[in-house]
Amino acid sequence: MTKTAWVFPGQGSQATGMGADLVDLPVGQAKLAIAEDILGWSVSEVCSSDDAQLSRTLYTQPCLYVIESILVDLLREKGHQPALVAGHSLGEYVALYTAGVFSFEAGLRLVQRRAELMDSTSDGKMAALIGFDREALDQQLQQTPGVVLANDNNAGQVVISGTPEAVAHIMATVKAKRAVPLNVSGAFHSPLMAPAATEFQQVLDSVTFQDAQVPVLSNVEPLPATDGSVLRDRLSRQMTGSVRWRELSLQLAAEGVDRVIEVGPGKVLTGLIKRTCGDIALENISSAAEIPA
């Protein structure tokens, strides 16, 4: 019997026009109306606006959460259920909603505050490295204060995060096929996010976390868990902790998962998993039309 995991992409997967086919569906209309009431702006309008607005963290994160959550609801309407769930950075919030840990509304309020705090961060820099010597990178990170491994996506692709000077030093000293600065407002998933994480904790503490209905693999600790208090603790560490996606991908295979569905725009996560676990069957659902009957 096939064991299926659903995974949810985060910031960087957004695309102008995403979710356009969801606005005429009953579940889409309902969720979009709730979202507009909470956010004070229209997700569908932002998704169809210019790329500059959609790519701003303040808007990107709530838009992805809402669109991916609607796709989850549509999958359930067709009788589909995952055996495990996981999400990349922002996507972890959709995973927790999918697992029944908190309501759509509670999750959106968390994402809204997270986006506000991260959007207002002005210190730090991030950069993606592709095709590099892992040992050399690890050595330089240990020797360079102020920079950490933010996203360990797979063996050949990572993101570093830290002070502009420290990130520039790593980019200059570690040979890579590609080293690309990221257009973000701050050093996400690094200790530099500690002030924002402390402020966010106040909102996180106000939300009730139920035990998960299916196991969740978290970014900071990629082992299956269902206990609500454990999942809350893991999420509280996410803003300053590394996204351990390479280990998470390996854990999916260790759990006997033989099929992964990426629910949301783009194909980033299936691409990353393919490079780590080539034997897992991979699918993508970014629109209602792609949901199997």
List residues with catalytic annotation.
89, 189
What is the edge-to-edge ordering of all strands in the sheet holding 147-154?
A: 147-154, 157-162, 125-132, 176-181
CB 144 within 8 A of CB 135: no
Q: How many angstroms separate the Cα of 128 from the Cα of each of 132, 152, 159, 177? A: 11, 10, 4, 11
Tell me which residue of 91, 107, 102 sits closest to 268, measured CA to CA: 91
Length, in residues, of the chain: 293
CB 131 within 8 A of CB 103: no
Between CA 280 and CA 273 the distance in angstroms is: 8
Is 33 buried (19+), middle (13-18) or exposed (0-12) by CB count in 10 A? Answer: exposed
Between CA 143 and CA 86 the distance in angstroms is: 32
What amino acid occupies position 48?
S
Q: What is the dihedral of CA 262, 267, 268, 271, to 10 degrees?
A: 90
Tell me which residue of 129, 127, 135, 126 sits closest to 178, measured CA to CA: 129
Q: How many CB atoms lie within 10 A of CB 265?
A: 24
Residue 74, token pair as written in the block: 């549509």
